[in-house]
Amino acid sequence: MRASENAGIHQRIGQRIDPFLQALDTAGLRRNLLLPSGIDFSSNDYLGLSQHPLLKQGMAEAVMREGVGSTGSRLLRGERECFTRVERKFAAFKGTERSLYFSSGYLGNIAVLSTFPEEGDVIYSDERNHASLIDGMRLSRARRVIFPHNDVDELGRLLRAHNGMGQQFVVVESLFSMDGDVGPLAAYVQLCREHGAALIVDEAHAVGVYGARGSGIIEEAGVGQDVFLSVNTAGKALGVGGAFVAGSESAIEYLVQRARPFIFSTAPTPPVAAAIETALDVIAMEPDRRERLFSRARYLRGLLDVLGTSQIIPVIIGENARAVAVARELQAEGFDVRAIRPPTVAPGTARLRIAVNEGLSETTLQRFADALRAALSR
Ligand SMILES: Cc1ncc(COP(=O)(O)O)c(C=O)c1O
């Protein structure tokens, strides 16, 4: 093919994508890659572990010991002791038989949902589930049924109406990433027992934070025995990156043998696993971080008069352009707040997603609440 033919092909694709990009501008939906700047009110580093000296040291020592890359899939030459060690430690943390480490929560969710539900099965999914859960379900041959957010009664009705032979799965987040509210896990467990359904819980924003050990809302709700699998990111409260799928010995072994994102991908870089081991130690040794996080979240919720308890506080604004304008005003005052727009959230519900972290002082929270009120009133 000659260079001029290539140029023609590229131009044709350009004609398709340029109007799309322009439409994003018109709708106020174009995203910008903005570096962190100002006081952190938006990251998921809830416990401040991404900057913890022990984690940095653990990772640096592992770099010197193990090098930087794993060099292959874990089923080939990419396997390392640090992976199995951190998986054992994570399983003990969650109270499960076994866990499996993935290089991201996105991949962990894709792995679980593209591997277990099969043709003839049904997956019941909360309408506000994360994109990675949705994408995983799209890769599955099972039928998908979406139920209204946190609606136990409706889920019960749907499960009762089921008359097929296949396995049923219920898929939810324990702490919803964009709404900051908690899924009613105990009620789901009850329904799953009644209907023989398997419960899959994404603990992305709860792991490291909730429960006496800090292992998540499954622990806090005391439903560990009834959860089929949980997916737990290590890039949020754990401060590092990657994710653990936790569950029974046989379910995890099945993933090792069958999950394509596990099999056909280079293993994570080993020093990350070393840093996560340290993160788990720090979570056990420094429970005051979690206590401070909850106290700060409570304090800010009080100032803003928002019900709930979690560290994720949504301020729903509605219109995309206005959400961006309010976020910009706060950024100009030194607060790193980001606007969240569709398709991440439903149309008409653009918002600021305020994420509290344990390092914010009450004085800063007070200043932030004043600035937010002023920006919203303009
Ligand atoms: C609920 C939920 N699940 C899964 C993920 C994906 O996790 P990761 O960022 O580790 O890919 C996220 C993060 O964006 C999330 O919020």
130 in contact with ligand 1, CB cutoff 6 A: yes
Give me Rg for the CA atoms of the chain: 22
The finding on whether 344 has its CB within 6 A of some atom of ligand 1 is no
Amino acid 361: pLDDT = 98
Span from the CA of 54 to the centroid of ligand 1 (angstroms): 24
How far is Cα 344 from Cα 327, in angstroms, rounded to an integer? 16
How many other β-carbons are positioned within 10 Å of the β-carbon of residue 4? Answer: 7
pLDDT value of position 143: 96
| Active-site residue list | 44, 130, 173, 177, 202, 205, 236
Dist. CA 139 → ligand 1 center (Å): 17
Q: pTM for the complete prediction?
A: 0.96
pLDDT of the residue at 161:
93
pLDDT at res. 1: 59
**Domains assigned to the chain:** 53-284 (3.40.640.10), 287-378 (3.90.1150.10)
Strands (E) located in the chain:
39-40, 98-102, 122-126, 143-147, 168-173, 198-202, 229-233, 243-247, 312-318, 335-336, 339-340, 350-355
Q: What is the mean pLDDT of residues 164-176?
A: 95
Q: How far is the CA of 130 from the centre of ligand 1 (A)?
A: 7
What are the pLDDT digits (tens) for 104-148?
999 999 999 999 999 999 999 999 999 999 999 999 999 999 999
Terminal-residue alpha carbon distance, the chain = 58
The CB of 105 under 6 Å from ligand 1? The reply is yes
pLDDT at 3: 67
Please work out whether the CB of residue 243 comes within 6 Å of at least one atom of ligand 1: yes
Please state the φ and ψ torsions of residue 318, each to the nearest 5 degrees.
Answer: 105, -80
pLDDT tens string 223-232: 999 999 999 9
pLDDT value, residue 372: 98
